[in-house]
Each structure stands twice: as C-alpha cells, then as structure tokens.
Chains A and B, each alone.
Chain A
C-alpha cells in the first residue's frame, strides 16, 4: 500500500499538524473571558435525521465535526462553550474527545463509558475553533478494530467570550 506519493503526503500532513498544534497552543492561552448564560438548548443530537447537527452516529475511532456558533443563542464571537455531553446506546466501550475544530486532537478525554450504559453524561467547557464552518470535533475512541458506534448529544448552557 505504501508508495512514494503517500509517504510524501504523510510527511506533509505531519508537518501541517505540527504547525496547527503550535498555533493552537498560542490561541489556547488567550483570555480572560466572561461568562454568558443560556437557557439549556440541544445543539447536536446524532439520533436525529442525518445532517450537520444530526445523524449519523459516530463510528469507532473516527471523528465528526459540528457547527455550534450561531445556534442555540451562542454568538459567532464566542470563545468557549459550556456543554453537557451525553453518549447514548454505545455498542462498544470507549471514550470521547471533544476539541476545537481545526486543531490537533488532544490526549484529553471528556467522557468514558461501558457497553452496558444506555446513556452517560458529563459537563465540559470546550474552546471552539473553525474548520469548514464547523466549530468542535468529536472523536469516539474505541478498542482497535472495533466496529462500534455511539450517538452523541451536545447541550449548551452558556458560553465565554
């Protein structure tokens, strides 16, 4: 499978990711920001019909990006969002990473679950990014080779700017 072209591509991507990560570190240290409250509002629910803030569920060891700004009263200049993150009907055990869209995936996770959980939730404050109109990336980590899926719900209760 590996040939010269993909080797080059891989190297280029790695360099790009490193640069993106450096940029992320710079922007991650901005602030301070003030808090603005919102009436609780569901901004993403992958159980709904397919769409940018709906289905499908997230497959094992893949990511989906979601638009957040401009929905549920979160303004376009928000810098971080207060989420309640819920996973529903996982078919394999795993964890969720949520991070600003367009930045390097962090090691840090937001939520862990086991297969017998019907639904598990956790609160999290996540900085927002921007990539092709999306603001956060959600990655579902499951065992290597897993064919599991998990539904994700993002509720917002406030933001910082």
Chain B
C-alpha cells in the first residue's frame, strides 16, 4: 500500500496539519495506558516463542506463501484529503458516554459484544468520531457507508478505542454512523488485565477472533529504547481452519498447506540483524522472540501497524518499507497451537460417575443451551476446537479430568484426533485414529484446563478432511 511517492505523502501531511485541532482522532495517538505491552505478560500476543518447537509442516505452509518479503502495511497519510495507512486507534477517558452499536443490519450480531464484560452495553465512541475524518481505518469520516453501492470506503473500516481508566479495549469492524446511530459488522471488547479468549467459533473485529491493537507495530516502540515485547498481526492469502489462540475460521483454501488462523511464524534465530538500522533491529528481534500471528486473510506477509503521521518523518530507518529485509524463507512456523505447559496438577482426585451424556456432537447444527449438547460445525482440517464443559452433562466447575468416549463419525479421509486440557498446547499424543469411511470410538481419561475454566481441546489432525466428532462423558474426577 505504501508505494505512493513520498512527496505526495508529505503534501498530505501538511494538509492534515492545517486542520482544526479537534477535527480528527489525536495524532500522534495518545500514549497507551501502562503497563505495556497491552494484555497480561502471559497473553498469546506477548508470549516468548523462542523455545517453541517448529511445526512438522512448517516448510509446507511456507511453500504456499512463496517467498515474498515482509511488507509493513502502515504509514502516515496516503496523500488524499483524508486517506491514511494503517490502523487508527484512540485513547479515551473512562467517562466517555457509551454509544449503542447495531450489529444486526450488516454484521454478526451473534458473535459481537454489546459492550465490555461486566459493564453497561455500548462503546465509548467520542461524538467527534461520527463526522470527523481520521477516526476510522482508511481515514474517511464514519458517515461514509461501506455497505452502500460502489462505496468509496468499502473496506474493513476498523475503529479501535482504549478506555484508559477502566483498562478496556473496544474494536469495531466496518463501522458506519448512519446519522442516527452507530452500525458495525462486528465488535469485540477486551479487559486489558485478562487473558479471556473469545468464545470458540466467534469472530472479533478481526477474522481470527483476536484483538487487533495488541499486535500492531507502533511508532513509540519502534523508535523507543526498550525491546518490542509482543507479536505482530499478519495476513496471508490463503487460510484454512483455526488453532489457538484464534477462535474463528474464515477459510479461503482447502490446501493442506494453508495456514490456519492463529498460526504463528517466527523469524529464525540464525537471521543476522547486525547490518540493520536500530529500528529494524528492534523489529527483527521481536519477530524472533514473539513472531507473527495470522489474524486475517489478505496479502501474503503484510504486517499491520498503527497509523501515525510520524512514520513519514522517520528518515532512513527502513521501517515503513516498501518491504522489510526479511523473506518468508527466513521464517519457520511454530507448532500449531503451541503454548507453554501449565504447571502439573499434583493433587489427588476421586472418580464421580455420571449418567452417560453427550457433551459434543458436531453433527448438530448449533450448541444446545446448557446443560445440553454442544453442536457443530465439523472440525475443519488441522484445526482445534476448545469447548467449555463445566455446567454441561452434570460436570461441575471444579472437575479436573473427565472419563470420555470419543467418536469420529464417517470421516472422509485418514487422520487422528488429539484431546487435551483446554489451556495446554497440543500434545504429541492422540486419542483416536480413523480412516476414510470408518466410524471409530475410543475411551479416554483426559484432564481439563488447570485454570478452573473447565475447558477441553479437541484437534483434528487430518490435513485434508473435516470430521464430525462426538464426545460422551460418563464420569469426572475432582
């Protein structure tokens, strides 16, 4: 994107600078509330990946990408009246009135948050954002309707807001002020002090179900003195399924070499950074330690940054491109869904029997209300689903392991299932092997997440076939 002549950009910057002070979101953006990075230190955005194993199919995944250079998909102004590169975010006070947002007209009302957890519904959108430019991604005022025929702003149109006093992050996708109310395609709110993942299967303001702002390249950190301490958001052309930490699938390919949403790419430790500018060294080190998280379908290896007019006056750094001196072949794919092992559970548990009960049947169209059976869709190839079992089938919140019967119904190709605690990375073990056309069942005793959320992860290891999975429970340990 940032390929227009610099001269045009500088003119745009001058024009922007001539505007009244309150006509746009504060730029440069106001400082984010500390401590940084955003979200807890053990959040997936801030996870040190340097010791994580390489995925067995790393080379296959990278082969589908080809070997492009990493492209920084951000900058300052694009030289048009309002146009800007990168994601715009604004930091707002906690007293900002909450605006209701309509998701039902154009979007995903069932996968959107009406507001922040535990707070009244609404998003803290300043009044100026309704009509003024440079609050919404792309730069056009929110009065521009992305859903109108031949709309000049038919794009992702994200609006990112940080409530610095209540430590909340609000993100909206395809926002529009229609003159009477706010509308959006989807919306998600996060507590900055929590590692809450979105419900399995839900989107966010991003296709993977992840927050956007914690993964942006920001000017302050690139030109600061401290190392950058988080992963960056990246897009790839083809995706298939999703793995932790992602919660949502938006597949564009059935190739076994298409990366799932949530996959993480790490710059190889052997990559030399010594000849680079200090800013690019800082970026390169972050790519080695924290990597890239696949968060949306888009151009291959486009890394997203925050819009900031100062990018235009960062001479000689090489930070805004047109490309970074790292190619796809300099990366490796971290084992899909990897996360550090939780501490071992060394407490004794007793068996409590249950009337055999169906916890999950992906052949059902939708989840039944608790305590009933969880539903579909079938697990896409090489994908993980994390289910919350507490409160279903009589499983109490303090259960630490389940006695299960796991069945695969009518698989179309060979594969295996892994079943493991919802807060663990996928283990090198399986529970069930299946072949094309063969329904298979197996008994298993599997621990639940140790974090008290009662979650269980199920991963389909078939690289090509979606499978229907049935999980029955006949007892629990606590």
**A residues apposed to B, CB below 8 Å:** 34-42, 73, 82, 84, 86, 117-125, 153, 155, 157-158
**9-residue interface stretch from B38-46, B375-383, B438-446:** B438-446
Known: A36-B346, A123-B442. A118 touches B420 (CB 8 A): no
CA distance A117 to B435 in the complex (A): 8
A121 contacts B430, C-beta separation under 8 Å: yes
Question: B348 contacts A155, CB within 8 Å?
Answer: no
Contact B429 A40 (CB under 8 A): yes
Chain A residues whose C-beta falls within 8 Å of the C-beta of B349 in the assembled complex: 34-37
Q: Which residues of the partner chain A approach B443 to less than 8 Å between Cβ atoms?
A: 122-124
Given contacts A122-B442, A157-B446, contact A34 B429 (CB under 8 A): no
Q: What is the total number of residues of chain B having a CB less than 8 Å from a CB of chain A? A: 35
- B445 with A82: CB separation less than 8 A: yes
Q: Knowing A36-B347, A37-B447, A118-B414 touch, does A86 contact B430 (C-beta < 8 A)? A: yes
The minimal Cβ–Cβ distance linking B53 to chain A, given in whole angstroms, is: 13
Q: How far is the CB of A119 from chain B (nearest CB, A)?
A: 4
Which of the candidate stretches B22-30, B216-224, B337-345, B362-370 sits at the interface with the other chain?
B337-345
Give me 5 other A-B pairs in contact (C-beta within 8 A), A86-B430, A157-B445 excluded: A35-B477, A36-B348, A40-B431, A84-B429, A155-B430
Please give, as numbers and ranges, the residues of chain A lying within 8 Å of B341 by CB-CB distance. Answer: 39
- Pairwise interchain contact A40-B418, C-beta atoms closer than 8 A: yes
Which residues of B lie under 8 Å from residue A153 when comparing CB positions? 430
- A158 contacts which chain B residues (CB < 8 A)? 401, 445, 447, 477
Q: How far is the CA of A155 from the CA of B477 in the complex (A)?
A: 19
- What 0/1 pattern do residues 416 to 448 of B give for CB contact below 8 A with A? 101111001001111111010000101111110
CB-defined interface of B82-124 with A at 8 Å, one 1/0 digit per residue?
0000000000000000000000000000000000000000000
A34 CB contacts on chain B under 8 angstroms: 348-350
- Which of A119, A123, A125 is close to B433, meaning CB atoms less than 8 Å apart? A119
Partner of B342 from the list A35, A36, A39, A124 (CB cut-off 8 Å) is A39
Give CA–CA (A155, B416) in the complex, Å: 14
Asked whether A39 lies within 8 Å of B424 as measured between CB atoms, the reply is yes
In the docked arrangement, what's the CA distance between A37 and B418, Å? 16
Cβ contact of A84, chosen from B351, B435, B444, cutoff 8 A: B444
Report how far A117 CA is from B447 CA in the complex, Å.
28
B residues in contact with A125, CB < 8 Å:
445
Please tell me if B400 contacts chain A, counting CB pairs below 8 Å.
yes
Residue pairs across A and B with Cβ atoms less than 8 A apart, 24 shown, are A34-B349, A34-B350, A35-B348, A35-B350, A35-B477, A36-B348, A38-B345, A39-B421, A39-B447, A40-B418, A40-B446, A41-B427, A84-B429, A119-B416, A120-B433, A121-B442, A123-B444, A125-B445, A153-B430, A157-B401, A157-B446, A157-B447, A158-B401, A158-B445
A123 and chain B: residue at smallest CB distance: B443
Inter-chain CA distance A119–B438, complex, in Å, is 12
Contacts of B446 in A (CB 8 A): 40, 157
Are A84 and B350 within 8 A (Cβ)?
no
When chains A and B are docked, how far (Å) is the Cα of A30 from the Cα of B447? Answer: 25
Question: Which residues of A have CB within 8 Å of B424?
Answer: 39-40
* A156: nearest chain-B partner, CB-CB: B429
Q: Which of B440-474 contact A (CB under 8 A)?
A: 440, 442-447
B400 touches A37 (CB 8 A): yes
State A122–B442 Cα separation when bound (angstroms).
5
CA distance A14 to B445 in the complex (A): 37
From A40, A117, A123, contact of B427 by CB (8 A): A40
- Contact between chains at A118 and B435 (CB < 8 Å): yes
- Residues of chain B contacted by A86 (CB below 8 angstroms): 430, 433
